[in-house]
Structure 1
């Protein structure tokens, strides 16, 4: 449920107002979710200006498609999925996510626990944002959004093997960056738990 807001005291009231096309409901939704959704878009579009543009397009899509939301799941989750879709459309349009996709297949098992632990750390998220576009896109879809490789392959028009390979290379780069960070003065104790989580998730 939403916190108490003028005009709308429950999420259902807010959604009903959205479906009626009320401008004040649009404003409430934007103000409530813009911060979170900008963070989502920024994970895919490293350039903040691009992320803001994608986010705005995403909210327009939310308002256009609100009649399709059946209220049988999380409203925030529904908005988030739209933002991810808009981000992927932007990357595909600009062909950014294709730049680093390799050909060979690498077998990688699902590790959703990693997404629930290490990826909650802001420092590691910053490292993810610094990955090349192709690595970052598939890493986010798999480790953060929870999509399976088959779903990612369909979304991006690639093979499952390419998705797995891209994820494996992203992890290798993250591990290398973590080791570099660990060499900085006074940082060893702060980064040990990242390494432990990474090793556990990679087994």
Structure 2
């Protein structure tokens, strides 16, 4: 007798199988969405090992609370919100993420034309990942997930004013990092031209 593996061609079939607690459906969800959800966790947690831990906890929450998915939006979007919540819970356990870090005053604005022409999305993701935890968290929630400051305050347990401050500081620090990249790129480019003369 041959073992048949079900094909979950539609999202609704996959969700129905998860609601029946089918182990194969859980494996399909992990294989299908794991790398995308890990990227979500990484944006918040910053450390790969910790992000994997958050990812596993997030998938356990997805499997255990699949009954809460009402189908109002996409399953992937619902799962993404679960991963964001799990990441925030992880960060709350490590309270250091709320501490603000001093930021030097930025005296020169980055050259946005240079940035548009030379920065790739991977560069921007890397720059955001380098932000201190609090800045990175608020920046991700606001700029990527689309939450407003009141929602961020509720999700994270900080005040709206702190959320606004963290976002402002994150933007300033990103501008500084872009400016540093630009300066480094132009300096390397100048030395490269000089060496070719």
**TM-score, length of structure 1 as denominator length:** 0.78
For structure 2, which runs of at least 5 residues remain unmatched after alignment?
103-118, 190-197
Correspondence 1:170-185 to 2 at 5 A: 170-185=170-185
> Whose radius of gyration is greater, 1 or 2?
2
Equivalences, count: 169
For structure 1, which runs of at least 5 residues remain unmatched after alignment?
103-118, 190-203
SS of the residue corresponding to residue 46 of structure 2 reads: coil
| C-alpha contact 1:182 1:188 (8 A) present in aligned 2 | no
Kindly state the Cα deviation for residue 41 of structure 1 after the two structures are TM-superposed. 0.3
166-175 or 93-102, larger mean C-alpha shift: 93-102
Match of 1:27 in 2: 27
Match of 1:66 in 2: 66
**TM-score, length of structure 2 as denominator length:** 0.81
Query: Over aligned residues, Cα RMSD in angstroms?
Result: 2.1
Kindly state the Cα deviation for residue 184 of structure 1 after the two structures are TM-superposed. 2.1
Kindly indicate whether residue 154 of structure 2 is the aligned counterpart of residue 154 of structure 1. yes
Deviations along 1:99-155, whole A, 9 cap, x unmatched?
Answer: 2279xxxxxxxxxxxxxxxx9811111100000111111111100111000000111
Deviations along 1:151-192, whole A, 9 cap, x unmatched?
Answer: 001111121111001100000000011011111245899xxx
Q: 1:187 to 1:154 in 2, by over 3 A?
A: farther
Kindly indicate whether residue 7 of structure 2 is the aligned counterpart of residue 13 of structure 1. no
SS of the residue corresponding to residue 72 of structure 1 reads: coil
| C-alpha contact 1:101 1:162 (8 A) present in aligned 2 | no
| C-alpha contact 1:101 1:135 (8 A) present in aligned 2 | no
